[in-house]
Structure 1
Amino acid sequence: MKDKVIVLILVIIMLLNFFDVITDISLGVPMWHVFSESLIVIVSGFGALLLVKDIRSRTLNTVRLKQELVVSDDKLRNISQEMKNARHAYSHVIHGQFEQWHLTLSEQEIAMLLLKGLSFKEISSVRNTKDKTVRQQASVIYSKANVEGRHEFAAWFLEDFMA
Protein backbone atom coordinates (compact mmCIF):
# COMPACT_ATOMS: atom_id res chain seq x y z
CA MET A 1 0.00 0.00 0.00
CA LYS A 2 2.78 2.41 0.94
CA ASP A 3 4.57 1.65 -2.33
CA LYS A 4 1.45 2.47 -4.32
CA VAL A 5 1.17 5.85 -2.57
CA ILE A 6 4.80 6.56 -3.43
CA VAL A 7 4.16 5.63 -7.08
CA LEU A 8 1.15 7.96 -7.11
CA ILE A 9 3.23 10.80 -5.63
CA LEU A 10 5.99 10.24 -8.20
CA VAL A 11 3.47 10.26 -11.05
CA ILE A 12 1.91 13.49 -9.73
CA ILE A 13 5.37 15.09 -9.45
CA MET A 14 6.16 13.92 -12.97
CA LEU A 15 2.91 15.29 -14.43
CA LEU A 16 3.11 18.63 -12.61
CA ASN A 17 6.70 19.13 -13.68
CA PHE A 18 5.84 18.05 -17.24
CA PHE A 19 3.14 20.74 -17.48
CA ASP A 20 5.55 23.22 -15.85
CA VAL A 21 8.20 22.40 -18.50
CA ILE A 22 5.65 22.97 -21.30
CA THR A 23 4.64 26.28 -19.72
CA ASP A 24 8.29 27.30 -19.23
CA ILE A 25 9.07 26.55 -22.91
CA SER A 26 6.12 28.66 -24.07
CA LEU A 27 7.21 31.54 -21.76
CA GLY A 28 10.82 31.45 -23.02
CA VAL A 29 12.39 30.45 -19.70
CA PRO A 30 16.16 29.80 -19.92
CA MET A 31 17.03 26.34 -21.30
CA TRP A 32 19.04 25.28 -18.24
CA HIS A 33 15.85 25.66 -16.15
CA VAL A 34 13.77 23.73 -18.70
CA PHE A 35 16.49 21.06 -18.80
CA SER A 36 16.59 20.70 -14.98
CA GLU A 37 12.81 20.40 -14.74
CA SER A 38 12.78 17.94 -17.65
CA LEU A 39 15.32 15.91 -15.72
CA ILE A 40 12.92 15.86 -12.72
CA VAL A 41 10.15 14.60 -15.03
CA ILE A 42 12.38 11.84 -16.40
CA VAL A 43 13.75 10.78 -12.99
CA SER A 44 10.26 10.78 -11.43
CA GLY A 45 8.88 8.69 -14.30
CA PHE A 46 11.83 6.29 -14.15
CA GLY A 47 11.45 5.96 -10.36
CA ALA A 48 7.72 5.30 -10.73
CA LEU A 49 8.37 2.63 -13.37
CA LEU A 50 11.01 0.92 -11.21
CA LEU A 51 8.70 0.97 -8.22
CA VAL A 52 5.78 -0.44 -10.24
CA LYS A 53 8.07 -3.19 -11.56
CA ASP A 54 9.21 -3.96 -7.99
CA ILE A 55 5.62 -4.03 -6.68
CA ARG A 56 4.63 -6.39 -9.48
CA SER A 57 7.62 -8.65 -8.79
CA ARG A 58 6.85 -8.79 -5.05
CA THR A 59 3.19 -9.45 -5.75
CA LEU A 60 4.04 -12.37 -8.04
CA ASN A 61 6.53 -13.65 -5.45
CA THR A 62 3.88 -13.42 -2.72
CA VAL A 63 1.41 -15.37 -4.86
CA ARG A 64 4.07 -18.03 -5.54
CA LEU A 65 4.93 -18.26 -1.83
CA LYS A 66 1.26 -18.64 -0.92
CA GLN A 67 0.93 -21.48 -3.43
CA GLU A 68 4.07 -23.14 -2.01
CA LEU A 69 2.64 -22.73 1.49
CA VAL A 70 -0.57 -24.50 0.48
CA VAL A 71 1.47 -27.35 -1.02
CA SER A 72 3.64 -27.52 2.12
CA ASP A 73 0.57 -27.58 4.35
CA ASP A 74 -0.83 -30.47 2.30
CA LYS A 75 2.48 -32.34 2.59
CA LEU A 76 2.57 -31.69 6.34
CA ARG A 77 -0.96 -33.04 6.72
CA ASN A 78 0.06 -36.13 4.78
CA ILE A 79 3.22 -36.54 6.85
CA SER A 80 1.23 -36.06 10.03
CA GLN A 81 -1.15 -38.78 8.92
CA GLU A 82 1.82 -41.00 8.04
CA MET A 83 3.27 -40.32 11.50
CA LYS A 84 -0.04 -41.20 13.13
CA ASN A 85 -0.16 -44.43 11.15
CA ALA A 86 3.46 -45.22 12.00
CA ARG A 87 2.87 -44.52 15.72
CA HIS A 88 -0.20 -46.75 15.64
CA ALA A 89 1.75 -49.55 13.94
CA TYR A 90 4.68 -49.14 16.33
CA SER A 91 2.31 -49.25 19.29
CA HIS A 92 1.09 -52.64 18.03
CA VAL A 93 4.68 -53.83 17.77
CA ILE A 94 5.39 -52.68 21.33
CA HIS A 95 2.28 -54.38 22.69
CA GLY A 96 3.20 -57.52 20.76
CA GLN A 97 6.59 -57.51 22.47
CA PHE A 98 4.91 -56.99 25.84
CA GLU A 99 2.83 -60.10 25.20
CA GLN A 100 5.94 -62.08 24.22
CA TRP A 101 7.44 -61.09 27.56
CA HIS A 102 4.16 -62.20 29.21
CA LEU A 103 3.55 -58.84 30.87
CA THR A 104 0.24 -58.51 32.68
CA LEU A 105 -2.14 -55.73 31.64
CA SER A 106 -1.03 -53.70 34.64
CA GLU A 107 2.63 -54.24 33.75
CA GLN A 108 1.91 -53.31 30.13
CA GLU A 109 0.34 -50.04 31.24
CA ILE A 110 3.32 -49.23 33.45
CA ALA A 111 5.76 -50.26 30.71
CA MET A 112 4.07 -47.94 28.24
CA LEU A 113 4.19 -45.07 30.73
CA LEU A 114 7.87 -45.80 31.33
CA LEU A 115 8.49 -45.66 27.57
CA LYS A 116 6.67 -42.32 27.45
CA GLY A 117 9.18 -41.00 29.99
CA LEU A 118 7.02 -40.68 33.10
CA SER A 119 8.74 -40.91 36.47
CA PHE A 120 7.73 -43.53 39.06
CA LYS A 121 6.03 -40.79 41.05
CA GLU A 122 4.07 -39.62 37.99
CA ILE A 123 3.08 -43.18 37.13
CA SER A 124 1.90 -43.83 40.69
CA SER A 125 -0.14 -40.63 40.54
CA VAL A 126 -1.71 -41.56 37.16
CA ARG A 127 -2.52 -45.07 38.36
CA ASN A 128 -3.53 -44.12 41.91
CA THR A 129 -1.02 -46.52 43.44
CA LYS A 130 1.94 -46.17 45.74
CA ASP A 131 5.35 -45.25 44.38
CA LYS A 132 6.78 -48.46 45.86
CA THR A 133 4.24 -50.56 43.94
CA VAL A 134 5.25 -48.95 40.66
CA ARG A 135 8.94 -49.52 41.44
CA GLN A 136 8.29 -53.20 42.17
CA GLN A 137 6.26 -53.65 38.99
CA ALA A 138 8.98 -51.87 36.99
CA SER A 139 11.56 -54.31 38.41
CA VAL A 140 9.38 -57.23 37.30
CA ILE A 141 9.05 -55.67 33.83
CA TYR A 142 12.83 -55.23 33.54
CA SER A 143 13.36 -58.80 34.66
CA LYS A 144 10.86 -60.20 32.13
CA ALA A 145 12.45 -58.05 29.39
CA ASN A 146 15.92 -59.16 30.48
CA VAL A 147 17.20 -55.58 30.81
CA GLU A 148 18.98 -53.76 33.64
CA GLY A 149 16.75 -50.72 34.03
CA ARG A 150 14.63 -47.97 32.55
CA HIS A 151 17.22 -46.70 30.05
CA GLU A 152 18.04 -50.14 28.69
CA PHE A 153 14.31 -50.89 28.53
CA ALA A 154 13.65 -47.78 26.41
CA ALA A 155 16.75 -48.44 24.31
CA TRP A 156 15.50 -51.96 23.55
CA PHE A 157 12.65 -50.39 21.56
CA LEU A 158 14.74 -47.68 19.93
CA GLU A 159 17.97 -49.42 18.97
CA ASP A 160 16.62 -50.74 15.67
CA PHE A 161 15.88 -47.16 14.56
CA MET A 162 19.46 -46.06 15.15
CA ALA A 163 21.83 -46.62 12.27
Structure 2
Amino acid sequence: MPNSMTRDHIGLWGLIGVQALCVFILIAEVGIELYGETGGKSADGQPIAPNSDHDHNFEFVVIVLLTGSLASTGLIVRRVLSRHKRTDELLQAATGAFFELVQQYFDDWDLTPSERDVALLSIKGLMISEIAQLRNTKLGTIKAQCASIYRKAGVSGRPQLLSLFLDELIAKGMSDCKKSCPQARSIGHNLP
Protein backbone atom coordinates (compact mmCIF):
# COMPACT_ATOMS: atom_id res chain seq x y z
CA MET A 1 0.00 0.00 0.00
CA PRO A 2 1.54 3.34 -1.00
CA ASN A 3 2.25 5.89 1.71
CA SER A 4 0.61 9.32 1.70
CA MET A 5 3.59 10.98 0.00
CA THR A 6 3.46 8.45 -2.84
CA ARG A 7 -0.31 8.94 -3.18
CA ASP A 8 0.24 12.70 -3.33
CA HIS A 9 2.83 12.32 -6.08
CA ILE A 10 0.59 9.98 -8.08
CA GLY A 11 -2.38 12.28 -7.55
CA LEU A 12 -0.40 15.36 -8.53
CA TRP A 13 0.96 13.82 -11.73
CA GLY A 14 -2.49 12.41 -12.57
CA LEU A 15 -4.10 15.82 -12.17
CA ILE A 16 -1.42 17.49 -14.23
CA GLY A 17 -2.03 14.88 -16.93
CA VAL A 18 -5.76 15.63 -16.88
CA GLN A 19 -5.01 19.34 -17.12
CA ALA A 20 -2.68 18.85 -20.06
CA LEU A 21 -5.22 16.67 -21.87
CA CYS A 22 -7.98 19.20 -21.25
CA VAL A 23 -5.86 22.07 -22.49
CA PHE A 24 -4.96 20.12 -25.64
CA ILE A 25 -8.59 19.19 -26.31
CA LEU A 26 -9.82 22.72 -25.68
CA ILE A 27 -7.20 24.27 -27.95
CA ALA A 28 -7.86 21.73 -30.70
CA GLU A 29 -11.63 22.16 -30.47
CA VAL A 30 -11.44 25.94 -30.48
CA GLY A 31 -8.96 25.86 -33.35
CA ILE A 32 -11.24 23.65 -35.41
CA GLU A 33 -14.20 25.87 -34.60
CA LEU A 34 -12.43 29.10 -35.52
CA TYR A 35 -10.53 28.03 -38.61
CA GLY A 36 -12.51 25.12 -39.97
CA GLU A 37 -11.03 22.24 -41.89
CA THR A 38 -10.12 24.41 -44.91
CA GLY A 39 -7.64 26.59 -43.08
CA GLY A 40 -10.08 29.33 -42.18
CA LYS A 41 -11.00 30.49 -45.73
CA SER A 42 -13.86 29.58 -48.03
CA ALA A 43 -13.37 28.40 -51.64
CA ASP A 44 -13.67 32.00 -52.88
CA GLY A 45 -10.97 33.21 -50.43
CA GLN A 46 -13.31 34.77 -47.88
CA PRO A 47 -12.69 34.00 -44.16
CA ILE A 48 -15.08 31.47 -42.67
CA ALA A 49 -17.13 32.92 -39.83
CA PRO A 50 -17.21 30.87 -36.64
CA ASN A 51 -20.15 28.50 -36.43
CA SER A 52 -22.69 30.54 -34.47
CA ASP A 53 -24.99 27.61 -33.71
CA HIS A 54 -22.14 25.49 -32.31
CA ASP A 55 -22.98 23.54 -29.16
CA HIS A 56 -20.67 24.78 -26.36
CA ASN A 57 -21.45 21.94 -23.92
CA PHE A 58 -18.24 20.11 -24.76
CA GLU A 59 -16.15 23.22 -24.12
CA PHE A 60 -17.99 23.80 -20.86
CA VAL A 61 -17.22 20.25 -19.65
CA VAL A 62 -13.54 20.63 -20.56
CA ILE A 63 -13.33 23.97 -18.78
CA VAL A 64 -15.03 22.52 -15.67
CA LEU A 65 -12.63 19.54 -15.65
CA LEU A 66 -9.64 21.80 -16.09
CA THR A 67 -10.77 24.15 -13.33
CA GLY A 68 -11.47 21.23 -10.98
CA SER A 69 -8.11 19.61 -11.62
CA LEU A 70 -6.33 22.92 -11.12
CA ALA A 71 -8.12 23.45 -7.79
CA SER A 72 -7.29 19.89 -6.70
CA THR A 73 -3.67 20.37 -7.71
CA GLY A 74 -3.53 23.54 -5.68
CA LEU A 75 -4.89 21.74 -2.61
CA ILE A 76 -2.41 18.89 -2.95
CA VAL A 77 0.51 21.24 -3.46
CA ARG A 78 -0.57 23.27 -0.44
CA ARG A 79 -0.84 20.11 1.69
CA VAL A 80 2.57 18.85 0.56
CA LEU A 81 4.21 22.21 1.19
CA SER A 82 2.57 22.44 4.60
CA ARG A 83 3.82 18.95 5.49
CA HIS A 84 7.29 19.85 4.24
CA LYS A 85 7.30 23.03 6.34
CA ARG A 86 6.18 21.11 9.44
CA THR A 87 8.88 18.48 8.88
CA ASP A 88 11.51 21.21 8.59
CA GLU A 89 10.25 22.82 11.80
CA LEU A 90 10.41 19.47 13.62
CA LEU A 91 13.92 18.84 12.31
CA GLN A 92 15.08 22.27 13.47
CA ALA A 93 13.48 21.70 16.87
CA ALA A 94 15.15 18.28 17.16
CA THR A 95 18.50 19.76 16.14
CA GLY A 96 18.13 22.52 18.71
CA ALA A 97 17.02 20.05 21.38
CA PHE A 98 20.00 17.81 20.68
CA PHE A 99 22.44 20.73 20.88
CA GLU A 100 20.88 21.91 24.16
CA LEU A 101 21.06 18.36 25.53
CA VAL A 102 24.73 18.06 24.57
CA GLN A 103 25.57 21.41 26.16
CA GLN A 104 23.70 20.47 29.35
CA TYR A 105 25.64 17.21 29.64
CA PHE A 106 28.92 19.00 28.94
CA ASP A 107 28.11 21.51 31.70
CA ASP A 108 27.17 18.71 34.11
CA TRP A 109 30.43 16.91 33.36
CA ASP A 110 32.41 20.15 33.69
CA LEU A 111 34.26 19.64 30.42
CA THR A 112 36.96 22.11 29.44
CA PRO A 113 36.54 24.00 26.14
CA SER A 114 39.05 21.66 24.46
CA GLU A 115 37.26 18.59 25.81
CA ARG A 116 33.95 19.99 24.54
CA ASP A 117 35.42 20.36 21.04
CA VAL A 118 36.88 16.86 21.11
CA ALA A 119 33.63 15.39 22.48
CA LEU A 120 31.56 17.09 19.74
CA LEU A 121 33.91 15.88 17.02
CA SER A 122 33.84 12.39 18.53
CA ILE A 123 30.03 12.41 18.64
CA LYS A 124 30.03 13.47 14.97
CA GLY A 125 31.96 10.28 14.23
CA LEU A 126 35.48 11.54 13.59
CA MET A 127 38.32 9.19 14.42
CA ILE A 128 40.94 10.20 16.99
CA SER A 129 43.52 10.75 14.23
CA GLU A 130 41.09 12.98 12.31
CA ILE A 131 40.33 15.01 15.44
CA ALA A 132 44.06 15.44 16.10
CA GLN A 133 44.67 16.57 12.54
CA LEU A 134 41.67 18.92 12.55
CA ARG A 135 42.65 20.48 15.89
CA ASN A 136 46.36 20.50 14.96
CA THR A 137 47.09 18.55 18.14
CA LYS A 138 49.13 15.46 18.91
CA LEU A 139 47.38 12.11 18.86
CA GLY A 140 48.32 11.46 22.49
CA THR A 141 46.66 14.70 23.60
CA ILE A 142 43.39 13.75 21.90
CA LYS A 143 43.53 10.26 23.43
CA ALA A 144 44.05 11.78 26.87
CA GLN A 145 41.17 14.22 26.33
CA CYS A 146 38.91 11.38 25.20
CA ALA A 147 39.82 9.34 28.27
CA SER A 148 39.02 12.36 30.46
CA ILE A 149 35.68 12.89 28.69
CA TYR A 150 34.72 9.22 29.08
CA ARG A 151 35.72 9.25 32.76
CA LYS A 152 33.71 12.41 33.49
CA ALA A 153 30.72 11.02 31.58
CA GLY A 154 30.95 7.67 33.34
CA VAL A 155 31.25 5.67 30.13
CA SER A 156 33.89 3.38 28.69
CA GLY A 157 34.10 4.72 25.13
CA ARG A 158 32.59 6.58 22.21
CA PRO A 159 29.64 4.23 21.59
CA GLN A 160 28.47 4.60 25.18
CA LEU A 161 28.96 8.39 25.01
CA LEU A 162 26.77 8.61 21.95
CA SER A 163 24.30 6.21 23.54
CA LEU A 164 23.77 8.63 26.44
CA PHE A 165 22.46 11.27 24.06
CA LEU A 166 20.45 8.90 21.88
CA ASP A 167 18.77 7.27 24.89
CA GLU A 168 17.77 10.69 26.21
CA LEU A 169 16.37 11.82 22.85
CA ILE A 170 14.50 8.54 22.32
CA ALA A 171 13.00 8.70 25.81
CA LYS A 172 11.91 12.31 25.25
CA GLY A 173 10.59 11.47 21.79
CA MET A 174 8.57 8.54 23.10
CA SER A 175 7.22 10.71 25.92
CA ASP A 176 6.14 13.42 23.46
CA CYS A 177 4.74 10.85 21.04
CA LYS A 178 2.74 9.06 23.74
CA LYS A 179 0.94 12.34 24.37
CA SER A 180 0.02 12.86 20.72
CA CYS A 181 0.23 9.40 19.09
CA PRO A 182 -2.25 6.77 20.31
CA GLN A 183 -0.24 4.00 18.58
CA ALA A 184 2.85 4.84 20.66
CA ARG A 185 0.96 4.25 23.90
CA SER A 186 0.74 0.56 23.15
CA ILE A 187 4.03 0.17 21.25
CA GLY A 188 6.49 1.99 23.48
CA HIS A 189 5.12 1.45 26.97
CA ASN A 190 8.05 -0.80 27.93
CA LEU A 191 10.72 1.66 26.81
CA PRO A 192 12.63 3.55 29.53
**TM bin (shorter chain):** 0.5 to 0.7
2-structure distance, mates of 1:120, 1:3: 66
Matched to 1:152, the amino acid is Q
Q: Secondary structure at the match of 2:26?
A: helix
Instruction: With the length of structure 2 as denominator, give the TM-score of the two structures.
Output: 0.53
Q: Which residue of structure 2 lines up, in the alignment, with residue 124 of structure 1? A: 132
State the match for 2:8 in structure 1.
Answer: none
Structure 1 unaligned regions, length at least 5: 17-44
Between Structure 1 and Structure 2, which shows a larger proportion of helix residues?
1
Q: Select the residue among 156, 159, 163 that pairs with 1:151.
A: 159
CA displacement at 1:155 relative to structure 2: 0.9
Alignment of 1:30-45 (within 5 A): none
Matched residues, percent identical? 24
Q: In 2, Cα distance between the equivalents of 1:62 and 1:108? A: 54
The verdict on how the C-alpha distance between 1:90 and 1:9 changes in structure 2, with shifts beyond 3 A counting, is: same
How many residue pairs match? The answer is 132
Distance change in 2, residues 1:109/1:64 (3 Å) = same
Letter in 2 for 1:122: E
TM-score, structure 1 length as denominator? 0.61
Matched, 1:2 2:24: yes
3-state SS in 1 of match to 2:98: helix
Going from structure 1 to structure 2, the CA distance change for 1:98 and 1:56 (only over 3 Å counts) comes to: same
Unaligned 5+ segments in structure 2 are 1-22, 38-54, 172-190
Superposed CA RMSD in Å reads 3.3
Pair 1:95-2:117 in alignment: no
Q: Cα deviations across residues 11-61 of structure 1 (Å, max 9, x unaligned)?
A: 479x77xxxxxxxxxxxxxxxxxxxxxxxxxxxx79x82x76356424422
